[in-house]
């Protein structure tokens, strides 16, 4: 599968929002209030107001998306406001295993380097049995717990973009699922 990354366009709104819901569908039973959660993730395109949404296409179809939120852009209070972050990396169930998620994550890291960031962050959950190990292989390390989302535990993970940065020196184990 040949993957092409490009910038989000307004005409992608419905496809990106539907993709976000489809990507999280496998976790339906884990979130305590699925309808309320779907309402939030089903509006992924709104992240374009505070960040840069990158979409992945294969054969003319959107198969993945992620939001890159820059250094000083507004973000959740549990993140250091000076860190760029990645939000809502989603991959179509039919495109999983083809490198879409990794390509999107690497593009976010490239943008963080472009912005001269020293640390890049994301939050994810131990229930994400594919994404979390991928992030760890990419050098992300658990920093601390983040607030649970509809009953699902989340943690903040950081990656040093500067080899001398303290955030990459120690490893803290993530909480169990």
How do residues 125-154 score in pLDDT, each as one tens digit?
Answer: 999 999 999 999 999 999 999 999 999 999
* 4-168 fold: Aminopeptidase (3.40.630)
What was the pLDDT predicted at 170? Answer: 38
What is the pLDDT of the chain when averaged over all its residues? 92
Asked if the model's pLDDT at residue 110 lies above 60, the reply is yes
What is the four-CA torsion angle of 160, 166, 170, 175, rounded to 10 degrees? Answer: -70
Q: Can you read off the two tokens belonging to residue 154?
A: 């989340």
Tell me how far the alpha carbon of residue 19 is from its chain's centroid. 14
How do residues 157-174 score in pLDDT, each as one tens digit?
Answer: 999 997 554 444 333 344
What was the pLDDT predicted at 164? Answer: 55
pTM for the full predicted model:
0.89
Asked if the model's pLDDT at residue 73 lies above 70, the reply is yes
Which H helix or E strand runs over 109?
Answer: helix 100-114
What was the pLDDT predicted at 81? Answer: 93
| Residue showing tokens 């993140």 | 79
- From CA 164, how far away is CA 159, in angstroms rounded? 12
Mean pLDDT of 36-42: 95
Asked if the model's pLDDT at residue 77 lies above 80, the reply is yes
Region of poorest pLDDT, from 32-36, 109-113, 127-131, 170-174: 170-174
């Amino acid at each position: 599968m040949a993957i092409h990354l490009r910038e989000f366009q307004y005409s992608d709104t419905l496809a990106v929002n539907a993709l976000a819901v489809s990507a999280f569908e496998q976790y339906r039973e884990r979130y305590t209030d699925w309808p309320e959660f779907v309402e939030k993730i089903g509006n992924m395109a709104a992240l374009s107001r505070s960040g840069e949404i990158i979409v992945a296409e294969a054969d003319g179809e959107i198969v993945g998306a992620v939001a890159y939120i820059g250094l000083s852009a507004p973000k959740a209070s549990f993140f250091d406001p000076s860190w760029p972050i990645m939000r809502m990396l989603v991959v179509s169930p039919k495109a999983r295993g083809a490198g879409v998620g990794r390509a999107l994550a690497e593009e976010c890291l490239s943008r963080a380097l472009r912005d001269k960031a020293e640390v890049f962050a994301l939050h994810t959950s131990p229930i994400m049995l594919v994404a979390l190990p991928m992030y760890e292989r990419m050098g992300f390390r658990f920093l601390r717990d983040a607030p649970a989302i509809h009953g699902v535990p989340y943690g903040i993970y950081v990656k040093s973009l500067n080899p001398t940065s303290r955030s990459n020196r120690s490893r803290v184990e993530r909480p169990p699922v």
